[in-house]
Chain A
């Protein structure tokens, strides 16, 4: 099966205080491919993700989704992406199940939510309020969304932060499954991954990274 082009980035750049943050970014991503964004702390990886999810407007550059410029397919693009950032977007007062159910697309069945919790090893915590969980377990709740989403393109900013070895294994499996099904992943991580065959893209900062 011929790979379909999902994402094309051309010369994307962002300015803060009248200075470019990093060298203009260009890459392409076909179905079934993963891209590992590399860069030192402060290189601008999170900013790049924020540009990709349209939280920030780039100074220059274009983004194409499935061959169409984003200005022509804004709604389709935002409906078909999933972003998990540094902050887990988990509400401490809600239970694990309530959080996942709320974060999942409309009409996600209880069985699917239970299966997702099982996958990340939280099946016994379903009715526990999230304020009683550890940071790693919080992260697992957020990442359980990977099992319930129908989005093709995943943006994962440091998904393995706070996870133990077993948790990393769960998420790597989940990512591999998504790639096998023709999905795409753009992620950043300081961890060496063993199961995911990803291309690397090094983000070159244009200001001194301390």
Chain B
């Protein structure tokens, strides 16, 4: 069991993290997008604290979805171009482990920074402090689901970089995450119990971890076989 983990999951996780650190531009782009677009909202809408706080849950989640979508399309295309994908597909280990390693690295580089940056957005949107923890938890879990679903789209749209097709493919699948993610923050803003939508997000994550790697595996083999 340890061998499966070390040969697949950990190897791809560390390599992709290292690649992410070296290619900083790819890493920073979605985060800058997330911050910039979020900064524009309070400027374009009347900066009334109450109104902004009402808009915040939906807005923050829409920007998180778009930032994730922006970053996910190159998840496998570089590997396809340089031949690494071929090596990954002929791995004797369960292919889901390298796939999960790559997606975890992607989440650490995109989902985690988005989560950590979100309190800044909370201040811009005059979000009550009670909503900050639910917001961070929902983003941490939700962006992981978005990365998994996005990876399915990225695999299915290879050898081209997804673009519009990728967006059309994954957007319907992003909807439940968007709904329950913003519902978690909204419930906290309204002073209601926010754990119920969060638990649904956790359930979505469990389903995505179980099913997405299988779909990605099939998509990658299809792409490689032309």
Q: Which residues of A contact B (CB under 8 A)?
A: 53-56, 75, 78-79, 81, 83, 85-94, 98, 102-103, 106, 129
Residues of B contacting A103 in the complex (Cβ-Cβ under 8 angstroms) = 87
Residue pairs across A and B with Cβ atoms less than 8 A apart, 8 shown, are A55-B86, A56-B225, A86-B83, A89-B82, A89-B84, A89-B86, A91-B84, A92-B82
Contact B82–A87 (Cβ < 8 Å):
yes
CB-CB < 8 A to B225: which residues of A? 55-56
CB-based contact A88/B82 at 8 Å: yes
Most chain B CB within a 10 A radius of its CB, from A79, A91, A92 = A91
The answer on a CB contact under 8 Å between B19 and A88 is no
Q: Which A residues touch B83, using CB under 8 A?
A: 85-90
Cβ of B97 to closest chain A Cβ, rounded Å: 13
A interface, over-half SS: loop
Give which listed residue, A79, A81, A85, A94, contacts B86 with CB less than 8 A.
Answer: A85
The interface bits of chain B over 11-39 (1 if a CB of A lies within 8 angstroms of the residue's CB, else 0) are 10001001100110000000000000000
Contact between chains at A106 and B6 (CB < 8 Å)? yes
Q: How far is A89 from B86 in the complex, measured between Cα atoms in Å?
A: 8
**Could you tell me if A93 and B19 are in contact, using CB atoms closer than 8 angstroms?**
yes
Q: Taking the nearest CB of chain A, how far is it from the CB of B83, in angstroms?
A: 3
Give A106 to B15 CA distance when docked, in angstroms. Answer: 13
Q: How far is the CB of B179 from chain A (nearest CB, A)?
A: 37
Q: Is B91 an interface residue (CB 8 A)?
A: yes
When chains A and B are docked, how far (Å) is the Cα of A75 from the Cα of B91? 9
Against A, the Cβ 8 Å flags (1 = close, 0 = not) of B114-132 are: 0000000000000000000
Q: How far is the CB of A45 from chain B (nearest CB, A)?
A: 15
Instruction: List which B152-203 residues lie within 8 A (CB) of chain A.
Output: none
For residue A186, give the distance in angstroms from its CB to the closest CB of chain B. Answer: 14
B87 and A94 form a contact (CB under 8 A)? no
Closest B residue, CB atoms, query A130:
B82
Assess whether B51 is interfacial by the CB under 8 Å rule. Answer: no
**Beta-carbon nearest neighbor of A57 in chain B:** B225
Contact between B19 and A55, CB atoms less than 8 A apart: no
- Using Cβ atoms and an 8 Å threshold, which residues of chain A touch B84? 89, 91
State how many angstroms separate the Cβ of B82 from the closest Cβ of chain A: 6
Pick the 4 closest A-B CB pairs, nearest first.
A87-B83, A78-B92, A93-B22, A89-B83
For the complex, give the distance between the alpha carbons of A102 and B19 in Å. Answer: 12
B89 within 8 A of A: yes
Cβ–Cβ contact A102 & B91, under 8 A: no
Chain B residues positioned under 8 Å from A94 (CB to CB):
15, 18-19, 22
Q: For residue A93, which residues in chain B have a CB less than 8 angstroms away from its CB?
A: 19, 22-23
Q: Is B46 interfacial (CB-CB < 8 Å)?
A: no
Q: Which B residues are CB-close (under 8 A) to A87?
A: 81-83, 86
Whether A79 pairs with B87 at a CB distance below 8 angstroms is: no
What's the nearest-Cβ distance from chain A to residue B148, in Å? 23
Among B37-79, those with CB < 8 Å from A are none
**Closest chain A CB from B5 CB (angstroms):** 11
Q: Bound complex: CA of A79 vs CA of B18, how far in Å?
A: 26
Interface centre among A81, A87, A129 (most CB of B within 10 A): A87
Task: Name the CB-closest residue of B to A83.
Answer: B90
Nearest CB of B to A197, in Å: 28
Question: Hey, which chain B residues are within 8 Å of A78, CB to CB?
Answer: 90-92
B226 closest partner in A (C-beta):
A16
Residue of B nearest to A93 (CB): B22
Q: Least Cβ distance of B106 to chain A in Å?
A: 15
- Within the assembled complex, what's the spacing in Å between the Cα atoms of A87 and B86? 9
B90 contacts A55, C-beta separation under 8 Å: yes
Nearest CB of chain A from residue B140's CB, rounded to whole Å? 27
Q: Are A55 and B89 interface neighbours, CB within 8 A? A: yes
Q: How far is the CB of B3 from chain A (nearest CB, A)?
A: 8
Complex Cα distance, B210 from A30, in Å, reads 42
B7 at interface by CB-CB < 8 Å = yes
Contact yes or no, B19 A91, CB < 8 A: yes
- Chain B residue nearest to A105 (CB atoms) is B7
Structural contact, B82 and A106, CB atoms closer than 8 A = no
